[in-house]
Amino acid sequence: MIQDKSQVFNTARVEALELDNLVEVALATMHAAEARTESRGAHCREDFSERDDVNWLTHSLYYREGHRLAYKPVRLKPQTVASFEPKPRVY
């Protein structure tokens, strides 16, 4: 419980908001990772060991109302920077 109700320099309130944000980011990461049936980058699943660019070359968009996911395609031809072609994971 936050005792200080002031709006200026309320460190307890700032810390509570930061913690809430961290929990939201963790939930988004967890739901998006569970929905992907592939392994990519730092995201690795033992049940889906290969990347799947045909179905999953997308950005995951998370909406906290109902834990809904949507997807946006990856732009491989950005307007301002050079693009990196997707590559399989090699260890």
Q: Is residue 55 part of a domain?
A: yes
State how many domains the chain has.
Answer: 1
Give burial (CB, 10 Å; 0-12/13-18/19+) of 87. exposed
pLDDT at 1 over 70: no
pLDDT at 7 over 80: no
When mean pLDDT is compared over 1-10, 43-52, 63-72, 74-83, the highest value belongs to: 63-72
Which residue segment(s) compose the domain that 32 sits in? 11-73
Give the per-residue pLDDT at 60.
94
What's the farthest any 2 CA atoms get from each other in the chain? 53
Distance, CA of 4 to CA of 89 (rounded, Å): 50
Mean pLDDT of all residues belonging to the chain: 86
Q: Is residue 58 part of a domain?
A: yes
Q: Is residue 90 part of a domain?
A: no
Q: Is residue 36 part of a domain?
A: yes
Q: Is residue 29 part of a domain?
A: yes
Give the per-residue pLDDT at 63.
95
Q: Is residue 48 part of a domain?
A: yes
Q: Is residue 40 part of a domain?
A: yes
Could you tell me the pTM of the whole model? 0.71
Which residues fall within 8 angstroms of residue 6, CB to CB, at 6 or more apart? none
Distance, CA of 12 to CA of 78 (rounded, Å): 41
pLDDT at 12 over 90: no
Q: Is residue 22 part of a domain?
A: yes
